[in-house]
């Protein structure tokens, strides 16, 4: 495995791999790798001949007052996990390497980036789409892998790739969960034991929603009301949003039907956590 910190370096190695006809798989991450990330690496390893993982805590996707400084950066551990999973190249650039001058150029996806997490994090997705564009242009992958846990991110990036004719495929892999149902997230590290216990209510609420829909409750308002009640059991849970939306357009729906995304975000202690389920009703 090669650890590279320069754009030139990673371009060189990928060009060599491509010249040998290798299919390049790419997993962009902010590090603090957990089994969710590793599931993406494994998918890339299975479907591609050359696997690149990037580790970059991207400043442009954090808003003012958000947790960029607190964000965990256990690089040695990340490198060990990449090595164990037969990654070919880890690209871990500095901020200066990625943003050598004030960034003036932004990729924005209208409408899809505005609801849900976009409401309280208005510049978040523009930071994500911009850094993904940069990373795609640097690495030049055939396939890039994202997690379903970040459902809106996956939808926004898919649309960006379509609209801008980016020459790669996006594959979205299922959310990986702890045994207790909590979706794996680098931000789970912020939680103490009590908060972690309460955090399991997030997925419990989503499962409840799924059960209620199966039982015939199709009114979004009633469904979110039930989820709110369940989440109220966690005294430290501050709900940001609970939304039931069309899974393609992210538009709120009143009566559940078709491909539906049930998504929520909540603060629990110092952590803002998100989770979702994708349903076909």
| Residues forming the site for its own copies (CB under 8 A) | 7, 11, 101, 103-112, 129-130, 133-134, 137-138, 140, 159-160, 162-167
Chain centre to alpha carbon of residue 272: 13
Query: Considering beta carbons, is residue 103 or 207 the nearer one to its own copies?
Result: 103
Residue among 135 and 268 whose Cβ is closer to its own copies: 135
Q: Which residues contact 6 (CB under 8 A, 6 or more apart)?
A: 93, 97
Residue 251 CB, nearest approach to its own copies (Å): 13
CA-wise closest residue to 96 among 124, 56, 133, 141: 56
The residues annotated as belonging to the active site are 37
Please give the order of strands across the beta sheet that includes 143-147.
Answer: 2-4, 89-91, 50-55, 24-29, 143-147, 169-173
Cβ nearer to its own copies, comparing 100 with 174: 100
Q: How far is the CB of 257 from its own copies (least distance, A)?
A: 22
Q: Which is nearer to its own copies, 60 or 220 (CB)?
A: 60
d(CA 153, CA 161): 12
Burial label for 258, CB within 10 Å (0-12, 13-18, 19+), is: exposed
């Amino acid at each position: 495995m090669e650890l590279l910190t320069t754009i030139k370096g990673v371009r060189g190695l990928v060009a060599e791999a491509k010249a040998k006809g290798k299919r390049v798989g790419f997993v962009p991450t902010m590090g603090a790798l957990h089994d969710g990330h590793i599931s993406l690496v494994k998918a890339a390893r299975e479907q591609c001949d050359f696997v690149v993982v990037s580790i970059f805590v991207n400043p442009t996707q954090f808003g003012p007052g958000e947790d960029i400084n607190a964000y965990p950066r256990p690089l040695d551990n990340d490198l060990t996990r990449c090595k164990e999973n037969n990654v070919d190249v880890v690209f871990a650039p500095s901020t200066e390497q990625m943003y050598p001058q004030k960034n003036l150029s932004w990729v924005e996806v209208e409408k899809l980036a505005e609801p849900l997490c976009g409401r309280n994090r208005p510049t978040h997705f523009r930071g994500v789409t911009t850094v993904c564009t940069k990373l795609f242009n640097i690495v030049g992958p055939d396939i890039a892998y994202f997690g379903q846990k970040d459902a809106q991110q996956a939808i926004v990036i898919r649309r960006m790739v379509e609209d801008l004719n980016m020459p790669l495929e996006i594959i979205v892999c299922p959310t990986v969960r702890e045994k207790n149902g909590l979706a794996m997230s680098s931000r789970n590290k912020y939680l103490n034991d009590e908060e972690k216990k309460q955090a399991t209510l997030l997925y419990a609420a989503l499962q409840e929603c799924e059960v209620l829909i199966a039982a015939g409750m199709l009114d979004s308002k009633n469904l979110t009301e039930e989820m709110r009640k369940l989440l109220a059991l966690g005294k430290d849970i501050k709900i940001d949003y609970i939304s039931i939306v069309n899974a393609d357009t992210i538009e709120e729906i009143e009566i559940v039907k078709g491909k539906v995304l049930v998504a929520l975000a909540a603060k629990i202690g110092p952590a803002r956590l998100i989770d979702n389920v994708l349903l076909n009703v």
